[in-house]
Amino acid sequence: MSFEKELEKGQFCIPECISCKKLIWPPSEFCNLCNRELTLNKSEFEGKIIEFSRQDENYFCIVEFNETVRLIAKMETCPKKNQTVKISKCGISQGSYYFHII
Ligand SMILES: [Zn+2]
């Protein structure tokens, strides 16, 4: 999937329907509303911290983008609920997606 190709290069993007413009998450091949093809939206999305927990020296946050996309991201500083964040780094490591936020 091209979403993964972009992620491998460190580019975060969200699949978006070419027809109804809905953001599709988790990424898939076609729109789950109108079944049309998807394009990749590479905007610099701003997310909101929904929840977080601490594990060793790191914070892991549930971040929500555009009220549809939710993912788990790592943060080095102490997060606050509802804080606005951006993806600073992302990629695929040993078959798993990772996201870092600031
Ligand atoms: Zn659609």
- CATH number of the domain within which 24 lies: 2.40.50
* Amino acid type, 66: N
pLDDT score for 70: 97
Cα 48 to middle of ligand 1, angstroms: 24
- pLDDT digits over 2-40, tens only? 999 999 999 999 999 999 999 999 999 999 999 999 999
Q: Which domain holds residue 17?
A: 2-101
pLDDT score for 7: 97
Q: How many domains are there within the chain? A: 1
Cα 43 to middle of ligand 1, angstroms: 19
Give the pTM.
0.91
* Amino acid type, 68: T
Cα 17 to middle of ligand 1, angstroms: 5
Q: Which residue has the tokens 């329907």?
A: 17
Which of 99, 93, 54 minimizes the C-alpha distance to 77?
54
- pLDDT digits over 40-99, tens only? 999 999 999 999 999 999 999 999 999 999 999 999 999 999 999 999 999 999 999 999
